Amino acid sequence: MKFEKRAIIFDLDGVICFTDRYHYQAWKMLADKLGIYFDEKINNRLRGVSRMASLEIILERSDKAYSEEEKLAMATEKNETYRELLKNMTPADLTDEVRDTLKELRARGYRLAIGSSSKNTKFILERIGLGDFFDEIADGTDIIHSKPDPEVFLCAAKKLGENPADCAVVEDAKAGIQAAKAAGMTGLALHGDAENCGEEDYNLKNFADLLNIF
C-alpha cells in the first residue's frame, strides 16, 4: 500500500523516543508523597493525556478533595521532577532506525512535524539531538484540548501550511489515531494500543516501514 501525502506528523513519546519511564517515576513520586496508590497499569491510562487530566486520574483514588490551586501545585511539582529526570536523555535515546528513516523521508521531499500533547516536547527533542530537525512542532503549549481531540494535529497542519487531507499521522496510542481521524488525516498505528485498534488506516510493522508506504 502506498499513501500519497505531502506531510507526516509524528507523536513524540512512544514513536520518536520513549519517556514513559520518566513520566511513571515522576507521577509515582508524587502519588507516594500524597499516599495514593499508583502502579504501571494506572500509568497506562495517562498515555497521550494532558498533565492536568493525568493528575485527575491519579486523584481518583484519593479520599481527599483538593483545590484547583493545590492541583496546579502538584502538576507543577510533577513536571519539575520529570524535567530533572529528562536530563538523563541523550542522542543515544534516538535509535538509528528512527534517525535514518526521518532523514530519508526528508530526502524524499516530505514535510515533517511533531504533534504532541507534551509541553516538554522541545526540551526532549533537544536532548535527543532533534531540536532543529522538524519543519514544525505543535505541542502542549499550543493547544487547550488533548487527544483524542484533533486540535494538536490540526495545529501542526496549519503551521506546515498543509491541508489536513494531505497529512498522515504516526501514533502509538488509540486516542492519537482517533485524533488523527477526527482531523481528517490518515492514521498510521505503530505499536501500543493504536495497533489493531480498529480505527487506524494502516499498521506499521516498525518505524522503517514508513519507507515502504511513502
The torsion angle over the Cα atoms of residues 48, 50, 55 and 56, rounded to 10 degrees, is -90
Catalytic residue (one of 13, 142, 149, 172): 13
The whole-angstrom separation of Cα 36 and Cα 31 is 5
Question: Quick check: is 201 catalytic?
Answer: no
Catalytic residue, from 11, 139, 142, 172: name it: 11
E strands within the chain? 7-10, 111-115, 136-138, 167-171, 186-189, 202-203
> Is 63 part of the annotated catalytic residue set?
no
Q: How far apart are CA 114 and CA 12, in angstroms?
A: 7
Contact 179, 147 (CB under 8 A): yes
Residues contacting 10, CB < 8 A, separation 6+? 16, 112, 113, 114, 115, 169, 170
Q: By three-state DSSP, how is residue 155 classified?
A: helix
Cell numbers describing residue 124: 526532549
Residues annotated as part of the active site = 11, 13
